[in-house]
A and B are shown apart, each in its own frame.
Chain A
Amino acid sequence: MNVDCATATSHLVARQRGELPEDLHQAVEAHVAGCPSCRAVSQDLRLLQRVFGASEIAAPPRFAQRVLQAAGCAQSVETEALSRDELRRIMHDEWRRARAFALRARRSVRVLTLSVAFHAAALLLLAFLVVYQAQADGQRERLIAVEVDTSALARLDQAQVRSPESSGGELRIEREDLPPLVEPNPTDENPSSGAQDQPGLAGRLHRFDGLRLEEDPENPFVPIPRSTRIGQQPGLQAARGSRSERERILSEYGYASVTVVMDAIDDGLEWLAERQQPDGSWDVVAEGGHGDFTVGISALALLAFLGQGQCSAGPHPYSDVVERGVAYLEKRQETATGRIGAATAPRAMYNHGIATIALLENYGMVSSRAARPLPDGSAQRQLEQRRSCALSAFHYLLAAQLASDPLTAGGWGYTPDAWRSDTSVSSWQVQALFAYEQAARSQLTRGEHQALRRAFQGVNLWLTNYTDPATGRVGYDRRNGSLVGYRGLTAMGLTSSLMAGSPPDGALARRQVRRILDAEPSSDRYPTNRIDFCEWYYEALALNLAGETSPDARSWNRRLVQILLDCRIQQGPDRGGWPAVCRWGVDGGRVYTTAMAVLILQTPYRFHLSR
């Protein structure tokens, strides 16, 4: 049987209901398969069905009891929620599924053994190839970008790391070496009393001297114009501090419903505040994450509060949350080195880097509030402690910047002695450099200024080595290295280079912005674990730091915000938080996703750079 288009169309509604006789049904199917206009109609019918479905309502609670009462029946009789037969059938299905799974598993053990053996062999071969390839790449890239003055590196090593015998292999920094951040009371001391004369620091300052970044004509990263920008920022609290200011900045971003966004942020913070432990940390494990990252995730949660202008010494609604959180991080700090979190934790620099950002941001806000003389000495002492903890954490971070291998120099690895740096770890550390700059405001001593300048110079070196100038793509552990499909890497690179002072209108930055905008945030991946809050965090942040206000960027941002609003937990005790659906959800759990989501929503005012 053949049907023409008009006939087919007239049957489409019945077809969708499955109410066509068999032969007619097949004829219509055959026609639709080859007819774009009928397919379009079918598609519309499907959409309409959704609208109809959405307009369905449910009976009010206790409706049956109401009717029974009105009918004069005994209300104790029960309505059937699930008949016994149905229940039995469901149980049976579950049991069958479990049994099938067990059978499959037993069969696959044998297969598994074989496969493990095979993969191990393949892995060995692969590892050999990778090392070989890396060496070949190394030769090439060394020629392109880097000339190393080995004597500078030797000096650096002496200055940085004491001999393993004296410190038990631990990285160690002399307290006396530390340059002041901002003095709690700036009138006390002459800020120009340079720390750069001290030998330990001087060693660090010359870290990247041998790496002649600025003279490389091929280098897409512009020499750092830090001196023109350092101290020019209004400070974090200026933009984060007041609700009306936050509202203004958000509405400049083109969100129609600013209040919806602000409410989502408030709910997220409330969710986090409710889950803070008495000791100031967050129970990452209880929320579905991994205990190794408790320090870093707790710090991340703190960043969300700091992003809202809440600091430990303020009269803010969440000041005591921040106070407890900061105290927790300080308690987890090793006095001798300044490291926060256990040295043995895997990927320890994540914990340390994020914690350092939190301490620095908090100190920056607290100290700007406390510029006036404080009424009582205990507050002064506490402020002094805040400063020294933030500072020693920062110096550990500076010392952990890799410098010995020219291919990875300037970046950070999982630990201070890592054999490679990676873009993901490094980007968090760069944010700590930036937080330091913000916290120090205009009061950097010459020594501090120089230390920061060198560190940023190292960042640019690392980015030079890791970025493909033609495409703007940033690699994970080297240029065009592993994880090539991970879009977040380019955003991490762009965020880092902008924080290090590269101009947002440079050709490479524009290419990277384009790369980000070309892939709109998508919730298609929701609710699978391929959604990536970390990727979104960096993409949103990079666009913001690049000062992107194009219509494309606006729609990109709106899209992302909408996805975040949609995937919030809408009901139950976890309302206001975000589910751990992220790619990194198994590491961070809900504390991580919620903190990240809040940070993403805060992006417009978190770093409101004056330009």
Chain B
Amino acid sequence: MTDTELMLRMRRGDEQAFAHLIGRFQNMLINYFHRNSFDRDDAADQAQEVFLKVWRARRSYEPRAKVSTYLLRIARNHCIDVVRSRRIRPGEVALEAASTAGSSGERSGSLADVLDSGALPPDLETIRSELRRELEQAVEQLPVAHREVWVLAELKGVRYADIAEILDIPVGTVKSRHHHAVAKLREILLGRPGMAAAVEEM
């Protein structure tokens, strides 16, 4: 059954269809919020809110766009609302988390430092979580417009054309923003000695 068929069934109040819809899109939405600097639990909570909005507004659904695009538009609006209501810019939540994580991490230095020191490299899981932390920090440094495109572009199955529709900008702009975002992340993440090798380890 296609996504749109599910949505149409759900519009008629089919709970089973709604359940399937959640199953299909939960990871997409949770990662959307997580990449927007919501921590794990918070990201799941916000994804839940989005699904609830979709369920409550099911009767007004019109099959005009791809379902994923439809959901992401709602998610994006929700994200902006939440961030406004919390009166902080997106990122500060994670920055707080990162700085507390950083204070414990600083003793051992960044991953690149650890690798440089020639000490026993930490195990794979440590490398992974370190990289995750460094990625979060790198993403914080992107301009908001670039970052927004990057977050969407990294979601599975989301194409440039979809992003253009979600953000209401031309496809060419999506492409160039994504290019700049990735180039910047490359500079931050792989610019230091040893990082490429650490990623290669994975």
CB neighbours (8 Å) of A79 from chain B are 19-20, 22-23
The 8 Å CB contact of B159, one of A10, A19, A41, A48, is A19
The 8 Å CB contact of A44, one of B16, B24, B128, B186, is B186
B70 on the interface (CB 8 Å rule)?
no
CB neighbours (8 Å) of B200 from chain A are 47
Instruction: Report the Cα distance A14→B23, complex, angstroms.
Output: 29
CB neighbours (8 Å) of B51 from chain A are 67, 71
Assess the A45–B30 pair: CB atoms within 8 A.
Answer: no
B47 to chain A, nearest CB (A): 8
CB neighbours (8 Å) of B34 from chain A are 57
A152 to chain B, nearest CB (A): 52
Assess the B179–A13 pair: CB atoms within 8 A.
Answer: yes
Assess the A48–B189 pair: CB atoms within 8 A.
Answer: yes
B153 on the interface (CB 8 Å rule)?
yes
Instruction: Report the Cα distance A335→B15, complex, angstroms.
Output: 75
Interface positions, chain B 154-179, Cβ under 8 Å from A, are 154, 159-160, 175-176, 178-179
| Known A-B contacts A64-B23, A70-B48; A77 and B185 likewise in contact (beta carbons under 8 Å) | no
A-contacting 9-mer, from B60-68, B72-80, B119-127: B119-127
A56 on the interface (CB 8 Å rule)?
yes
Contact with B along A33-48 (1 / 0, CB 8 A): 0000000010011011
Assess the B23–A77 pair: CB atoms within 8 A.
Answer: no
The 8 Å CB contact of B160, one of A19, A45, A58, A81, is A19
B135 on the interface (CB 8 Å rule)?
yes
Instruction: Report the Cα distance A561→B119, complex, angstroms.
Output: 12
The 8 Å CB contact of B120, one of A51, A55, A74, A254, is A254
How many residues of chain A have a CB within 8 Å of chain B? 49
Residues of A within 8 A of B (CB): 10, 12-14, 17, 19, 41, 44-45, 47-48, 50-52, 54-60, 63-64, 66-68, 70-71, 73-74, 77-81, 83, 254-257, 260-261, 551, 555, 558, 561-562, 565-566
The chain B residue sitting closest to A83, CB to CB, is B1
CB neighbours (8 Å) of A47 from chain B are 190, 196, 199-200
Contact with A along B114-148 (1 / 0, CB 8 A): 10011111111000100110011000000000000
Assess the A57–B43 pair: CB atoms within 8 A.
Answer: yes
CB neighbours (8 Å) of B178 from chain A are 13-14
Instruction: Report the Cα distance A80→B24, complex, angstroms.
Output: 8
B27 on the interface (CB 8 Å rule)?
yes
B95 on the interface (CB 8 Å rule)?
no
Assess the B135–A51 pair: CB atoms within 8 A.
Answer: yes
Interface positions, chain B 3-48, Cβ under 8 Å from A, are 15-16, 18-20, 22-24, 26-27, 30-31, 34-35, 40-41, 43-44, 47-48
Assess the A81–B23 pair: CB atoms within 8 A.
Answer: yes
- Tell me which of A50, A60, A67 has the highest count of chain B C-beta atoms within 10 A of its own C-beta: A67
Instruction: Report the Cα distance A56→B135, complex, angstroms.
Output: 11
CB neighbours (8 Å) of B202 from chain A are 50, 54
B16 to chain A, nearest CB (A): 5
| Known A-B contacts A68-B15, A77-B15; A256 and B135 likewise in contact (beta carbons under 8 Å) | no
Assess the A19–B182 pair: CB atoms within 8 A.
Answer: no
CB neighbours (8 Å) of A551 from chain B are 118
Assess the B196–A67 pair: CB atoms within 8 A.
Answer: no
Instruction: Report the Cα distance A366→B35, complex, angstroms.
Output: 59
22 A-B contacts (beta carbon < 8 Å): A13-B178, A13-B183, A44-B196, A52-B154, A55-B35, A55-B131, A55-B132, A57-B43, A59-B27, A63-B44, A63-B48, A64-B19, A68-B22, A73-B19, A78-B16, A79-B23, A257-B119, A257-B120, A261-B120, A562-B120, A565-B123, A566-B123
CB neighbours (8 Å) of B182 from chain A are 13, 45, 48
| Known A-B contacts A51-B189, A54-B132, A71-B52; A80 and B20 likewise in contact (beta carbons under 8 Å) | yes
Assess the A59–B19 pair: CB atoms within 8 A.
Answer: no
CB neighbours (8 Å) of A63 from chain B are 22, 26, 30, 44, 47-48
A548 to chain B, nearest CB (A): 16
The chain A residue sitting closest to B26, CB to CB, is A59
Assess the B48–A57 pair: CB atoms within 8 A.
Answer: no
Instruction: Report the Cα distance A255→B128, complex, angstroms.
Output: 20
CB neighbours (8 Å) of A51 from chain B are 131, 135, 189, 199
The chain B residue sitting closest to A80, CB to CB, is B20
CB neighbours (8 Å) of A56 from chain B are 27, 31
The chain A residue sitting closest to B161, CB to CB, is A19
Assess the B18–A71 pair: CB atoms within 8 A.
Answer: yes
Instruction: Report the Cα distance A12→B182, complex, angstroms.
Output: 10
CB neighbours (8 Å) of B44 from chain A are 59-60, 63
Instruction: Report the Cα distance A211→B176, complex, angstroms.
Output: 80
Assess the A44–B190 pair: CB atoms within 8 A.
Answer: yes
CB neighbours (8 Å) of B154 from chain A are 52
Assess the A58–B27 pair: CB atoms within 8 A.
Answer: yes
The chain A residue sitting closest to B20, CB to CB, is A80
CB neighbours (8 Å) of A55 from chain B are 35, 131-132, 135-136
Instruction: Report the Cα distance A257→B19, complex, angstroms.
Output: 46
Assess the A14–B160 pair: CB atoms within 8 A.
Answer: yes
Assess the A54–B131 pair: CB atoms within 8 A.
Answer: yes
Instruction: Report the Cα distance A54→B35, complex, angstroms.
Output: 12
Assess the B22–A562 pair: CB atoms within 8 A.
Answer: no
B179 to chain A, nearest CB (A): 5
B138 to chain A, nearest CB (A): 9
A293 to chain B, nearest CB (A): 31
CB neighbours (8 Å) of A19 from chain B are 159-160, 175
The chain B residue sitting closest to A63, CB to CB, is B26
Instruction: Report the Cα distance A555→B121, complex, angstroms.
Output: 10
Assess the A14–B175 pair: CB atoms within 8 A.
Answer: yes
CB neighbours (8 Å) of A260 from chain B are 120, 122-123
Assess the B120–A67 pair: CB atoms within 8 A.
Answer: no
Assess the B22–A67 pair: CB atoms within 8 A.
Answer: yes
The 8 Å CB contact of A50, one of B117, B179, B199, is B199
Instruction: Report the Cα distance A52→B132, complex, angstroms.
Output: 8
The 4 lowest CB-CB distance pairs between A and B, nearest first, are A256-B119, A79-B23, A256-B120, A73-B15
CB neighbours (8 Å) of A71 from chain B are 18, 51-52, 55-56
Assess the B26–A64 pair: CB atoms within 8 A.
Answer: yes
The chain A residue sitting closest to B134, CB to CB, is A51
A74 to chain B, nearest CB (A): 6
The chain A residue sitting closest to B43, CB to CB, is A57
B125 to chain A, nearest CB (A): 8
Assess the A80–B23 pair: CB atoms within 8 A.
Answer: yes
Instruction: Report the Cα distance A63→B135, complex, angstroms.
Output: 26
Assess the A70–B132 pair: CB atoms within 8 A.
Answer: no
B44 to chain A, nearest CB (A): 5
Assess the B23–A74 pair: CB atoms within 8 A.
Answer: no
Instruction: Report the Cα distance A66→B52, complex, angstroms.
Output: 11
